Chains A and B, each alone.
Chain A
Amino acid sequence: MALLQIEEITKEFGGLKALHAVSLHLDEGEIVSLIGPNGAGKTTLFNCITGTTPPDRGSVRFNGEEIVGRPPHEVARRGISRTFQHIRVFGQMSVLENVMVGWDFRGRTGIFTALLRPPRVGREEAENRKRCLEVLSLFGERLLPRLNQPARELSYANRRRLEIARALVSGPRLILLDEPTAGMNPHETQQVVDLIRMICERGHSVLVIEHKMKVVMTVSDRIVVLDHGEKIAEGPPAAIAADPTVIEAYMGGRRRAQAD
């Protein structure tokens, strides 16, 4: 059984069909890339999966359970976490606190326990911290030396890393990355590629939206191509690179074909 099974999802904004009967699946341990020109509906699909903007029709089953209609925090609790195309870190909070929020729903401390502070509150905080440091250490020396710095002071690339760390800390089964390499230089991009592989090896499945072809081709097990809200192709990287409809829609049509 597929970990994520999306069937016939349709989403309209007014008269605009952002997604039209899109189906796709993702198996446990897979890295699937979602590509397509701007406005193809990639981020809309992410929003439909996570419940941010529920689809008009269609179903999304995660681990066999229907998740359409559930609010985003419940989807996250079931094991899908995500990052955003436009970075959304908690600017005034420190790097460590940002990541600790990712562990929030695993916590048990409520208002009364917070006031009375039985020993388990301290243990929970320590456990949370330990998990966060462990996840932050995946990024080498990028984030660990900046634990107490407010997130808004971080560089662009580091804020992206922080978002990924926040999404990873609760141990999701599936992580959705929305353009993780946007605004990064080639060296940093390569690090993200390694990171995505590492995330996969740690047992998280990955669905990634990406524009940089080099990244897509090296990292994905499978590629899904969207154009104008419809799925136009799906397959392993080599097949996608050779697919004429994809080249037509995405890679620049005739000119590219002539250049080859």
Chain B
Amino acid sequence: MNNSTDQQPVEKAPEQREDAGKVLLNEITNPTPPKGKPRRGIGQFALIPLLAIVSGLILGAIFIIITTQEVYAAFGQSFSAGMAEAWRTVVTAYGALFAGSIGDPARIIAALNAGEAGEIRRAFNPFLESLVTSTPYIFAGLGVALGFRAGVFNIGAEGQIFIGAAASAFVGYSLKGLPMIIHLPLAMLAGAVGGGLWGFIPGWLKAKTGGHEVINTIMMNYIAFRLSDWLLTGPMKRPGSFNPISPNIEPSAVLPRFFGDPIRFHLGFFIALGVAYLVYWFLFKTTWGFDLRTVGANPFAAKYAGMNVARNTIAAMALSGALCGLAGANEVLGVNYNLAMAFSSGYGFDSIALALLGNSHPVGVVLASLLFGTLRNGATRMQVIANIPIDIISILQAVILAFIAAPAIIRTIYRLRTPSKAEGAVTLSSWGGNK
């Protein structure tokens, strides 16, 4: 942002202006295949994220070890006892993480042998619950990724989730007597429109005034949080309740669940996968997506090619917001059935991370969402069984992300070949003067 005015440098700088953010984002969203060789398929893209995850788990283990009192006590006795205790702690912790997120293998096998349907479902519930947690990540991650592809940095996912949730909750409880086939899509749509509006505003500001979307989406977040606080204590407050909570939505607006209680797995997950395919199709198979990607990758070339940079920027922010709004709608209609304060617990902010982790590609976003959902879901059990604070998962996510964001570290650790520098001059319009 060293050159935030519209003016281009008068003397042409010898090398195109690059700043760290631009280079970083470019590095992430556009991995360079080694010079002179064709792409080597998915492995090329997945290598860094996979190594980052492995490194994150290793570092997480170290954190677990140094924060566990018993390990210190065992080291007091002897070195080997300490090592054994450290190993035991990590195995217990990660075992609980696994069991809590995927399921306990022994229990699954036992249930399958017993052949009792209810028990089988309960044995698979940790896995299904991970999918439930992953669903809002998928929606919001797709939103942020779409923004990245179009060269906008949507930090406002969290706010868009809130507005989307509020809109869909309102449609969900206030309209009565509608058949599900109308009410449910309407409530989802309301979420998309609400989030879309919340993305449109900073998009419009960027296109028309040059106001940077990072600043404006952050501001929009605060407006969204306080707006939903006000809604819950005022217009949308549940009659007769002392808590800031909205009325429950009508059954006709509920995303149907596939199994009985306590299994919460619902239709939202499949809708999310469907939307992921739609986003993929939109970005890579349509002229509109080509416009968006070109504007994102090089706004100058986009203008040269006759594309409308301003309109595409606005469209990208609105679409990004709409997808994030769907994440909010999904939580209200599929999990909570009402709007409560602080229901989102940072899905929007995590989604920025996982869009990066997923290379801003819909497939990558789905995979990264599954990872984040799984980690978050398993963390609860890890806390209960192994007495490991749930925050360790935040550390894990942060470390993984740091490695993704700085692939040079991973390349150095694992001695990977550096990509060619031929693309050093590429721009990502979000950073630096854009027009």
Q: Do A and B bind each other?
A: no
Interface residues of B (CB under 8 A from A): none
